Structure 1
Amino acid sequence: MKSIPVSSFKNHFAPQSSVYDRQVAKLAVTQKKILEEQQRKQQIKDEEELRETTFQPRINEVVFDQDFYSRQEYYQKKKEQKIQEMRNQQKKEQEFTFQPRINRTSEYILATRMHQQREPPKPSPNSDFTFQPEIGEFAKQLSFNEETYKRLYNTHGQYAVKAQQQTYESPPAIGNQQLLCERLHNYKAYYNAQHQKPTINFNATPDLILKRKNEQLLLSRRLRMATTTTKAPLAEPEYTFQPELNEVSKHLAINREPIVERLQTAQLEKEAKLQQLRMQKELKEIEECTFKPSINEFQGHQQDFMEKQQRLLDKRRNLEKELELKRIQKEEDEIRYVQEHCEGFKAKPIPDYGIKLFNNDSSQKKKIGEMLENGDGEMARELKRVGGGDLVVGSLAVDSVDKFVKRIREAKFMK
């Protein structure tokens, strides 16, 4: 079997271009295919639309195929749906009746608590100092991280040892004296550069004791200067403005109170007004307060209270009974009047099915309406018109008769 050389195998599978170029070419081919597919689909869609077109519109035939009422059903359903949604939303809002109020003390506690929980503001850098010195090359060379007194002590010891060695070697010459002076001058310049170096944006804490001593010394110096030096006599200023008061101003000035008394009375009036406003505010807060505790009374007071409540209840029940009797008598008189004058207004009499339509509450009227709705066809036909032309269906029979009585009463009043 003939083997394939390794060199030819590598040359066959080796990439002819870089990875970026291959990916760009692949992306271009993919986008081209997608664009061709979209164009093909759009062309098919256009052909189908052109196939269905006849260029002969039938607007009136399509629009008037249905009558007006059938076309309005869709919009009527949408309207009913919207009304139902609004009613449901209104019911949900009516369920939440709990509306607590917060008094002034609670508001103050809440505000102070929020203020305490707030993070303290960070101090901003002092921007008042505009002095920004530049450090030269000599100052950079003299900058050390060691403390000043240690550095001076060490350098002094080194120079002292060197000076002692020089004394043993040879007596000091004039050149050595000059060198020593220059060295001392350099020490002085270095010390001034270290200790008199200005700082940027640095506020030193004031020494209150030293400040007080300086103020006392300054005050004593001023007092000594005032006692020792003789003051020159001041020239009297010349005032040419001499106003004169008229008669009315003089009269007002005589009868007017001093300014101190007037200010005192004004201050008292102001305090009285503030006290009155404060009392009104407290009374308003007490009225708006929702806290109403129940206080337990003693047994004797409780018995008196229960007896008083029982008497009030009995009185109220008797009053309700009297009002009910008056209302029944009034309704009977109205029914009697309606029965007597019914023919004069061309109204049909109420059919008698053994049902008492008057003197009933809402629950009894509802039961009567349900019984009339579930009745036979003959009953419904006879109850179709009651009360002079009002349509009556089921539970609306009682309301229709009440309307009829009202019209009879109005006609009687007009007559």
Structure 2
Amino acid sequence: MPPCDFTPEKYKTLEYNRVLEIHKEHLSPVPTAFFQKPLLLHQGHMEWLFDAEGNRYLDFFSGIVTVSVGHCHPKVNAVAQKQLGRLWHTSSVFFHPPMHEYAEKLSALLPEPLKVIFLTNSGSEANDLAMLMARAHSNNLDIISFRGAYHGCSPYTLGLTNVGPFKMELPGGVGCHAGVNGVVQYPRGFLKEAFQLVRERGGVCIADEVQTGFGRLGSHFWGFQAHDVLPDIVTMAKGIGNGFPMAAVVTTPEIAKSLTKRLLHFNTFGGNPLACAIGSAVLEVIKEDGLQENSQEVGTYMLLKFAKLREEFEIVGDVRGKGLLIGIEMVTDKMSRQPLPREEVTQIHEDCKHMGLLVGRGGIFSQTFRIAPPMCVTKAEADFAVEVFRCALIQHMERRAK
């Protein structure tokens, strides 16, 4: 395991079994925790996480592609602490400098005419608002999303979702016709033609940059820029606040006016002083630490390393991605390309954790490993991750052979 010069504090809080009891008694019964024995995390530092027992893990999922500049980045911490002692909350009925400073910095990173910002708290909420905007402006009801798409867990956004475990039996998202489907890239030219077809029919185009924005893809700051298209509305969250609950919708003045003519949109916590101060610090760190460039360099390096596993193992069906957003699709064999059974994928996932590597899961059948480390990751850590994953695959093939 690569070295880490950070020493975590000694864990002195709830015992593990007590945590399990409280979770079972008082928290959501929906099984969302990774691993048969869920990790009880205690502390984080940049690309590293530490559990209650003091074990160290290389975080290659970033809190579901959310920690952009690193866990507890010193500069972001300092800004948050300073703002915490100055002003926590006012709501948008009053003005405060952090909100206006952030709006100016964020708008400078988006092309004309995407210059009007609505601040919210989560990606689901941002996508809800974007759908409302699109309908208010176009006077159309229907919304098209992709097969395998995931855009949030609110009742409204669930209508856009086409990933099995998230679909619900209750009616929701009326007028939505179907992502997290394992990091799938669009064919060349597809998005440009799709935008043209939508606009010819009086529609507007929304780019969900919740996971792909803020330099994670390396070559561009926003995913849509790689396809030479200009959306009418852009949604963003997750990496925007490095884990702090924050999100935004950015659109054109024309679409913003269409919304405000039809309703008074208000958000109690949107534009919170603490959130905006943290958001500004994140933008500064991305620039000062060269994290977009690092995403390009280390991401390309790592993608090529992972791609070699496709040739070595019959169960690695595809390795794809861009920058520090990579999907590794597991199959029973390359001929049938059937998804590797969930229990087998789960065992590989567990083996990676035992060796100190945390990765994500995705895809319609939960058959794709999602690789998305904080953007401060190094090549040495990428080497470690690839070797751990390779060892986990070897162990799996040995179990299969018995």
Structure having the higher helix fraction is 1
TM-score by length of 1: 0.14
Structure having the higher strand fraction is 2
TM-score by length of 2: 0.14
Point out which structure has higher relative CO (alpha carbons under 8 A, 6+ apart).
Answer: 2
